[in-house]
Structure 1
Amino acid sequence: MSFQRTSGILLHPTSLPSKFGIGDLGETAYQFIEFLSRSGQKLWQVLPLGPTGYGNSPYMSFSAIAGNPYLISPELLAKQHLLKEEDWADLPEFDRDRVDFATVIPYKRKLLEVAFKRFQQGYLDQDLQHHHDLYLIQELFKKFCIEEADWLEDYVLFMALHEENTEVLWNNWEPAIAKREPQALELKRIELKDRIEFQRFVQFIFFDQWLKLKQYANMRNIKIIGDIPIYVSHNSADVWANPANFALDPETYEVAQMAGVPPDYFSETGQLWGNPVYNWEYLQETQFAWWIDRFRFLNRYVDIIRIDHFRGFEAFWQVPAGEETAVNGEWQVATGTELFTKLREVMGELPILAEDLGVITPEVDKLRDDFGFPGMRVLMFAFGGGSDNFHLPHNYVRNSAVYTGTHDNDTAVGWWQRASQSEKDLFYKYIVGYAAGEPINWVLIRMAMAAVSLIAILPLQDVLGLDNSARMNIPGTATGNWGWRYNDPELLNPTLSDRLLQITQLYSR
């Protein structure tokens, strides 16, 4: 699929300001869309939107499809009369600069429980309009549960079981449940009926709020780039419900081969993610049905799909169970060509971006180019090495997406503060304009906007000129990530919009 020359901003919704300690899909999300529109931006890139587990990583979710309950806006629930302001009268003083997940999650869970109870019992007042509103919501809820049953029923049961066994991985649950014996599952559905219904309700509310936000963005000519991680968490509804898709021990359902990447720019010992790799032979035998369902679903909820770790569809790094680093892994060939051929056959040409960073071979380039997917260029990688560096703008092709940095990079300011002298020397030679005193973040933004790449994406941290304290993630570290937030909607002021709009128009974005 061909893309137009555009630009946009990378910002995960958790990073939006909110009184509830974590960004959500409420008022500040709509304000951010207005900022994008005023600034001439046509794209909003988000990270995976799924419910997160240990470490709060969007790339380690309990589901490849479900939405994150903690992105739900309580204030929007109040507009539907499912919450009242008095329900958050005890609101703690949350950290304004970072998400304190340990405090935020139980508090928002409490609010969701209140909303669910009100949804079940009906409103306590006698306002007929409120009762009419509730009736409409309940009808939409029934429709959602029927239409989404294929993934929803496995997910809600998994989450109810997970909450019953919070410290136990699914493969260590009662054997009949781990093996999904129908009679045992039916008994659990009866026993955990209320918990299961709560999970259905939460998913309905999430997707209701998300689709309204997406519609608002689309009405302002802004498309949303969603993220599809190549791997899913072992402790997820997907692996529990579809174990044959993954490289698991057939007796214990433990991960037999773990996903990761070999030593690279980010780590001398590589990255050991711990997710199970795929049983590509089985996936091919099933006509890639599970993968096609993932793409089909995400394609309904975003406008452009970014495939994370695209190179894993050509060959993937697998590490035997028990290893503590990714060093002792090996490359295995995947069947990406067959998958994307089938996907195109079933769904036509999809708007897909390929995250093709890391150890890239001619075979990976061929897979990307055979299907016309734009690859990625990252300016923070551009100045290590010589003039043949893949990430230097004069080496770009039009069918690509340039980033100043990604969620895995430092901010532009943080990168410059830590850059080696050799990187700075090449930078000075390459960017004569830096001598004029333009801040480093705007130099990189200008470079990205000017590039031949059809797509330019700027992390909001770089637009705001923030330092290393605003970094979103440090690859290879399990905790302490994903928490950055900007704390004041007024930071996205008209002066900033005008500056971004001018540079966007100058380079025909």
Structure 2
Amino acid sequence: MSDSLFNWLKSRSAGVLLHPTSLPSAHGIGNFGPSAYQFVDFLCECGFGYWQICPLGPTGFGDSPYQCFSAFAGNPYLIDLDPVVSFGLLKEDDLAPLRELPHDQVDYGALYEAFWPLLAKAAKRFVKDGEPSLDGYGNYKTFIKENSDWLDPYAAYRATKDHFKGKPWFEWAKKYRTYELWQESELPQKLEAAISAEKFYQYLFFGQWKLLREYANSKGVKIIGDVPIFVAMDSADTWSSLEIFQMTKDGKPKAVAGVPPDYFSELGQLWGNPLFDWDALKKRDYDWWIARLKATFTLYDVVRIDHFRGFHDYWSIPAKAEDARTGEWKAGPGLDFFNKVKEALPEALLIAEDLGDLSDGVHVLREETGLPGMVVLQFAFGGDAANDYLPHNHEKNSVCYAGTHDNDTTLGWFWSEGDHVREHVHRYFGIGDEAPQWDFIRACYRSPARLAIVTVQDMLNLGSDARLNTPGAAQGNWQWRYSQENIDFLRRDVAGYLNELAHLYGRNQG
């Protein structure tokens, strides 16, 4: 292990998995406003050292943060509009439509109708005022210049997508179908105002996130971010960098991403993402990926790489396949990629999402990189004592979860499983049925794994209604939110006990 590339997880600690959209707010969706700062205070009171979130990118159809319009940009829905009012770019009354949205979940359709006109109005006033730098958010022109490599094509893509009523870029006329061709067209001038507005939205997002992250760090809380290995087919990344993907010159995929049949689906999962042309990227020293990771580490302290196995081998599915069963495994870039990452980012703190039925080669690659892997307690029961996810088999260099954003809540999972699984849980922990979610939380704290991550849903004793995401379900995901009453309960009745667990099992913040 001492010879591995990224052997960084040295001490025991704990954290909480909560995507910011699940925070309370008066604007229809959780954002970077006061409730985010209050959540950080709660983490500090409990002795948590980490806040883990899902990707922060701009979401499209299905609202999944794992299918974003950009691997670099931020999601404007997370912008708190109250400071925008204080800057004089909106009026208090402008926010009335947002306050009428549900407080207990995210209604993305209604949010879309209410939110974007307000942001557009703020952008117009920002331009009218001479594009001033906003206090605390950094110099606007410096932001535009320093991020131009990704911001220019992203803003062009989003403005053009809106211009064509939301159509994906591969359905645009051929003269707009690559960023290079687009730059030679009439659209850069025609869409100048819309492009500038998109850049302003990113300035707000990154300005507010920087302040929130600095506050978390000042409280001893580090942010764990998430990088999906693949990008969305309809994204600024594919449109502007077609040459690094397994796609034809006219923008058609040769094959797409997914996973074979597994725990979640008997048909496998047909994600539909474009696959990287790893040979082409290797010739360029993986420059796009290095740029992506460098940008990511300006947002987060630690980065989880989703679908780590894709760097060893990936499931390549014919582009016209109806499901994922007809795919085949193909070789990824392997250790060569991580050697280049180490050269460019020697202090990178990475976590490998290595869940599922993995080949020996994937395990070897993770050992060579030294990255901590993941263990999920919900996958541990119903078999025998050799199950890698049972606590007695956990490696120290790993991250222990009861469940992730893709799992049911522990309480929901427990009561949806059969008697055989519940009996295994009873015998393993020596418990009954009273509060299995807390037995799983305690098991995470006790685990040999150096980092333990729990969820707010489990701490609130919630069932399946509080599930955040169901893989394979096209709609109904990413909507769950907790309330102000929930966080008051946690701070009053739960924080002290969690702090006690942290000290008892050596996971206190310091």
Q: Which residue of 1 aligns with 2:331?
A: 333
What pairs up with 1:211-290 in 2 under 5 angstroms? 211-250=210-249, 252-290=250-288
Spell out the pairing of 1:35-434 with structure 2 (5 A cutoff).
Answer: 35-122=42-129, 140-182=139-181, 184-185=183-184, 187-250=186-249, 252-432=250-430, 434=431
Preserved CA contact (<8 Å) 2:459 2:490: no
Give the fraction of aligned pairs with identical amino acids, expressed as a percent.
Answer: 41
Q: What is the Cα deviation at residue 239 of structure 1?
A: 0.3
Q: Distance between the aligned counterparts of 1:336 and 1:187, measured in 2?
A: 43
Give the corresponding residue for 1:503: 501
Give the Cα separation in 2 of the matches to 1:144 and 1:163: 23
Aligned pairs for 1:457-472 (under 5 A) are: 457-472=453-468
Relative distance call for 1:438 and 1:106 in structure 2 (3 A) is same
Aligned to 1:442: 438
- In the alignment, is the contact (CA less than 8 A) between 1:69 and 1:206 conserved in 2? yes
Aligned to 2:451: 455
Corresponding residue to 1:481 among 440, 455, 477: 477
For 1:367 and 1:135, how far apart are their aligned partners in 2? 45
Distance 2:215 2:308 in 1: 30
1:89 and 1:298 map into 2 onto residues whose CA distance is 34
Look up the match of 1:2.
Answer: 8
What is the CA distance between 1:336 and its match in structure 2?
2.6
Shift of 1:467: 0.4
Helix, strand or coil at the partner of 2:35: helix
Contact 2:405–2:469 (8 Å) recurs in 1 = yes
In 1, the alpha carbon distance for the partners of 2:265 and 2:13 equals 33
Deviation at 1:89, TM superposition (A): 3.1
| TM-score normalised by structure 2 residue count | 0.95
5+ residue gaps, structure 2: 1-6
* C-alpha deviation, 1:497, in angstroms: 1.0
Q: Distance in 2 between matches of 1:311 and 1:134?
A: 43
SS at match of 2:127: helix
Partner of 1:26: 33
Distance 1:308 1:423 in 2: 28
Q: Does the aligned pair in 2 maintain the 1:122–1:134 contact within 8 Å?
A: no
CA contact (8 A) 1:11 1:460 kept: yes
Contact 2:133 2:139 in 1 (8 A): no
When residues 360 and 505 of structure 1 are mapped into structure 2, their CA distance, relative to the original with a 3 A threshold, is same
Is 1:119–1:134's contact at 8 Å kept on the other side of the alignment?
no
How has the CA–CA distance of structure 1 residues 225 and 283 changed in structure 2, closer, same or farther, with 3 Å as cutoff?
same
- Structure 1 residue 138, shift from structure 2 partner: 9.5
Distance 2:133 2:253 in 1: 45
- The alpha carbon displacement at 1:97 in A equals 1.9
Distance 1:493 1:340 in 2: 41
Separation in 2, partners of 1:53, 1:159: 11
TM-superposed deviation, 1:91: 3.9
After TM superposition, the structure 1 stretch with the greater mean CA deviation from structure 2, 163-172 or 286-295, is 163-172
**Contact preservation (8 Å) 2:437, 2:458:** yes
Distance 1:491 1:324 in 2: 47
Find the aligned partners of 2:411 and 2:424 in 1 and give their Cα distance.
17
Contact 2:136-2:207 within 8 A present in 1 as well: no
Cα distance between partner residues in 1 of 2:37 and 2:102: 22
Tell me how far 1:295 sits from its aligned partner. 0.5
- The count of corresponding residues between Structure 1 and Structure 2 is 498
Please say if residues 55 and 481 of structure 1, whose CA atoms lie closer than 8 Å, have aligned partners that are also in contact. Answer: yes
Deviation at 1:166, TM superposition (A): 2.7
- Superposed displacement of residue 349, structure 1: 3.5
Measure, in 1, the Cα distance between the counterparts of 2:85 and 2:38: 19
Q: Distance in 1 between matches of 2:455 and 2:411?
A: 12
Alpha-carbon distance in structure 1 between the residues aligned to 2:391 and 2:222: 25
Deviation at 1:136, TM superposition (A): 5.7
Deviations 1:265-306 (A, max 9, x none): 001010000101111111111110000001111011100000
Distance 1:493 1:181, change over 3 A: closer
Q: CA RMSD in A?
A: 1.7
Separation (CA, whole Å) in 2 of partners of 1:101 and 1:146:
32
- Which whole-Å CA distance do the structure 1 matches of 2:97 and 2:473 have between them? 34
Note if contact 1:306-1:353 (Cα within 8 Å) is conserved in structure 2. yes
- 5+ residue gaps, structure 1: 124-130
Q: CA deviation at 1:493?
A: 2.5
- Following superposition, the deviation at residue 167 of structure 1 comes to 4.2
Q: Secondary structure at the match of 1:492?
A: helix
In the aligned structure 1, how far is the partner of 2:93 from the partner of 2:475? 34
Distance 1:368 1:321 in 2: 29
Measured after TM superposition, the shift of residue 180 of structure 1 is 3.5
**Letter aligned with residue 57 of structure 2:** G
CA distance change for structure 1 residues 202 and 44 in 2, over 3 Å: closer, same or farther?
same
Q: Distance in 2 between matches of 1:14 and 1:306?
A: 19
Q: CA 1:117–1:183 in structure 2 vs 1: closer, same or farther (change >3 Å)? A: closer
